Amino acid sequence: MVDAIEPPIAGDSSGAFAGVPFLIKDIMMTAAGVPQGMGTRLLGNDVYVAPHDGELMRRFKAAGLNTLGRTTTPEYGFNATTESLATGPSRNPWDPSRTTGGSSGGASAAVAAGVVPVAHANDGGGSIRIPAACCGLVGLKPSRGRTPLGPDAQLVILGLGHEFAVTRTTRNAAALLDLVAGPKVGSFIPFANPQTPYGDSIKRPMQGLRIAIAPTGFQGTAPTDAGISAEVVRVGKLLADLGHNVEEIDHIPPDQEQVHRANHRFWMATLAAASQTLTTAFGIPASTDVYETCTLKGIQDGQAMSAVDMMEAVQIMGMTGHQMGAFFAGYDAVILPPFAAPPIPLGVLEQNHPDWSARRFYDELFSRFNATAPFNVMGQPAITVPTGLVEGLPAGVQIATSLAREDILLNLSAQLEDATDWFARRPAVSVANL
Burial environment of residue 188 by CB neighbours within 10 A (0 to 12, 13 to 18, 19 or more): middle
Beta partners for 345? 98
Residue 158 DSSP one-character state = G
* Helix residue spans in 283-430 (DSSP H): 293-303, 307-327, 358-368, 373-378, 406-419
237 is catalytic: no
Burial environment of residue 203 by CB neighbours within 10 A (0 to 12, 13 to 18, 19 or more): exposed
Among candidate residues 25, 84, 108, 141, the one labeled active-site is 25
CB atoms within 10 A of CB 101: 35
Residue 55 DSSP one-character state = H
275 is catalytic: no
Residue 372 DSSP one-character state = S
- The rounded distance, in Å, linking the Cα atoms of 182 and 192 is 6
Among candidate residues 84, 90, 103, 104, the one labeled active-site is 103
- The rounded distance, in Å, linking the Cα atoms of 148 and 159 is 12
Whether the CB-CB separation of 428 and 418 falls below 8 Å is answered with no
108 is catalytic: no
Whether the CB-CB separation of 110 and 116 falls below 8 Å is answered with yes
Q: What is the gyration radius of the CA atoms in the chain, in angstroms?
A: 20
- The rounded distance, in Å, linking the Cα atoms of 130 and 134 is 6
Whether the CB-CB separation of 105 and 373 falls below 8 Å is answered with no
Reference 385, options 238, 241, 218; nearest CA is 238
User: Residues 6 or more apart from 283 whose CB is under 8 A from it?
Assistant: none
Among candidate residues 84, 90, 104, 127, the one labeled active-site is 127
Reference 124, options 261, 272, 228, 264; nearest CA is 264
- The rounded distance, in Å, linking the Cα atoms of 38 and 41 is 9
Write out the catalytic residue numbers: 25, 103, 127
